[in-house]
Amino acid sequence: MGVNVEILRNLQDAEKRHDKKAIVIWQNQLNDLKALEEIRLIKQLPHAAMAEAPNVQRLSKETQRLVEYLKKDGYAVYDYAGRTPLQVKKDGMRFWYLNPILENLSSDPSLLAFKSAPEDFYLRGSQKLPHEKQLELLAQERQSVERAYPSAGLITREWHAPELIDLSLQHLKTTKIRLQGKDFGYSYTWTDTYSSNQPGATRAGVGSWRGTSGLYADFWSSEDVSPYLRLAPVVEIPRK
């Protein structure tokens, strides 16, 4: 048990030092932990908030192969463990604005992939289109993914705001690249997160991540159209 505690502490120290090589080493060792009871004890350590600890779940060989194929095709792949935007903020994410309604929202844990190149992150031609028209492009992208990975069970869909916010920080820590930052034209993407479940609820948009001020996440009318308001798809990978 003490070895597991030491692994987590070493990982935390590496993250504080921004030692990328050490982070990879300790993260890989942490991912090899199997016993759920051990994971629960690690999450209860001081300075390791339960909601912010890694969601450790081993991948089958079949899923690992699929992940490798996706990475070769330009996808970035990360685990979303269910963290809220507020928890991501405490982990270091800066926000230009974060709507209070979004702060404590969460989504189901999932393994997610997205095209990380700026020219491929958004659906091409999705700018200056109403959201309904953007969804037509999403349907085309879904068919394209299904043709590229037949029988893989991949689900191409819109992001949930908590997922995108969390993975944006993960991607920054891994690559030092800000999704929807300068290289992405400081654009935004719609998400499938709403301000409420009532008729007329507004939809969350996330993006325009500026280095000094941070990420922007707010609610707007789905009828809004802008050259900077685009649609970025995400691919959910089933765990087999």
**pTM, 2 dp:** 0.76
Q: Last residue of some domain: 42, 58, 74? A: 58
Residue written as token pair 């997922």:
163
Domain tally, the chain? 2
| 117 & 231 share domain | yes
Q: How confident is the model at residue 58 (pLDDT cuts 50, 70, 90)?
A: confident
What's the pLDDT tens digit per position in 198-218?
Answer: 999 999 999 999 988 999 999
Asked whether the predicted pLDDT for residue 30 surpasses 60, the reply is: no
| 43 & 64 share domain | no
Question: Given this model, what pLDDT does residue 177 score?
Answer: 96
Q: Last residue of some domain: 33, 58, 83? A: 58
What's the pLDDT tens digit per position in 223-237?
Answer: 999 999 999 999 999
- Distance between CA atoms of 162 and 232, rounded to whole angstroms? 14
Q: Distances in Å between the alpha carbon of 25 and those of 19, 21, 78, 89, 233?
A: 10, 6, 16, 25, 30
Question: Given this model, what pLDDT does residue 12 score?
Answer: 66
Domain ranges, residue 222:
59-237
Question: Given this model, what pLDDT does residue 1 score?
Answer: 36
| 49 & 85 share domain | no
| 81 & 171 share domain | yes
| 72 & 82 share domain | yes
Question: Given this model, what pLDDT does residue 222 score?
Answer: 87
